[in-house]
Structure 1
Amino acid sequence: MTAGAAGRSVLLLDDEPTIRESLGEYLEDCGIATLQAESGEEALAMDGLEAVAVAVVDIRLGGMDGIEFIKALHALRPDVRFLIHTGSTDFQLDPELRAIGLTECEVIFKPVLDMSVFERAIRQKLAEAGS
């Protein structure tokens, strides 16, 4: 992890190491600090969670799924902004996610061939969070 603006970072939650690590390397090269986790349970228990401003969350995970994770982290940290990164082409936001403030604009479908999509979306979320 590298230091981000005002010590704020981006959590990358994906159980596929190649996706998580390549996105992390790309964002770090863009000057965006990241934390990485392969499960919702790991992410909720990790050091540095208090510095997370944005979480990029895969929906299909072993154990706690991405939707459960978003709801749990939002309960702990309502200031965190979310982006959903999913391979599920039929994914629909449930009413609870909409109540948290997520819209279709926060859903990015795999595969992503242009990683700058993430940089732009994350920088927008960091700006919304005042980071």
Structure 2
Amino acid sequence: MKKDSILIVDDQPGVRRLLLEALRQAGFRVFQAASGEEGLQKIISEKPSLAILDMKMPGMSGVEFLRELHRRAWSLPIIVVTAYEDKDLAEQARKLGVQYFLHKPFDLSHLYHLVDIALAQQCYPDLEVLTG
């Protein structure tokens, strides 16, 4: 089993379940949160290697979640999953350190590829990454 752990922060139970099952099958330890607030608590308690974040959630949005990570100086790779082509939202996420985006609907092979790249980038920060 891989030692890396992944936190899924998404308000949609079906999306969380799909990601949870796919990532566990790939050998990751996976935690999930239904809100940004719950996600912040899971980061404290579980210390994941990577987070997969939905941008459009009730309560704390994905951007607010990213701002809170930035405010607390917490650093971990984030993959943003979104069904919306919102260039302003994507730019805000980039300014808050997000490098990886996955658009719904997505192929699981693309998810695995982005996870591998994000985790490799965390281990080797000078690695040049192309995310296509």
TM-score after normalising by structure 2: 0.80
The equivalent of 2:104 in structure 1 is 110
Partner of 2:31 in structure 1?
35
Q: Is residue 2:87 matched to residue 1:94? A: no
Question: 1:125 aligns to what?
Answer: 118
Residue aligning to 2:16: 20
Deviation at 1:48, TM superposition (A): 5.8
How many Å separate the matches in 2 of 1:47 and 1:69?
11
* SS state at 2:123 partner: coil
Q: Cα RMSD (Å) of the superposition?
A: 2.2
Among candidates 47, 59, 64, match of residue 63 of structure 1: 59
Residues 91/38 of structure 1: CA separation in 2 closer, same or farther (3 Å cut): farther
Taking the aligned partners of 1:18 and 1:50, their CA distance within structure 2 comes to: 22
Taking every aligned residue pair, what percent have the same amino acid on both sides?
30
Unaligned runs of 5+ in 1: none
- In structure 2, the CA distance between the partners of 1:47 and 1:65, relative to structure 1 (3 Å rule), is closer
Q: CA deviation digits over 1:34-76, x for unaligned, max 9?
A: 1100100111123764521211100110100011112212333
Q: Please list every run of at least 4 consecutive aligned residues from structure 1 whose deviation after the TM superposition is greater than 6 angstroms.
A: none
Q: Which runs of 5+ in 2 are unaligned?
A: 125-132
Distance apart, 1:100 and its partner CA: 3.5
Instruction: Quote the Cα distance in structure 2 between the aligned partners of 1:101 and 1:65.
Output: 16
Q: CA deviation at 1:102?
A: 2.5
Separation in 2, partners of 1:116, 1:49: 29
Greater relative contact order (Cα 8 A, min sep 6): structure 1 or 2?
1
Q: SS at 1:121's partner residue?
A: helix
- Scaled by the length of structure 1, what TM-score is found? 0.81
Inter-partner Cα distance in structure 2 for 1:21 and 1:29:
12
Contact 2:10–2:35 under 8 Å retained in 1: yes
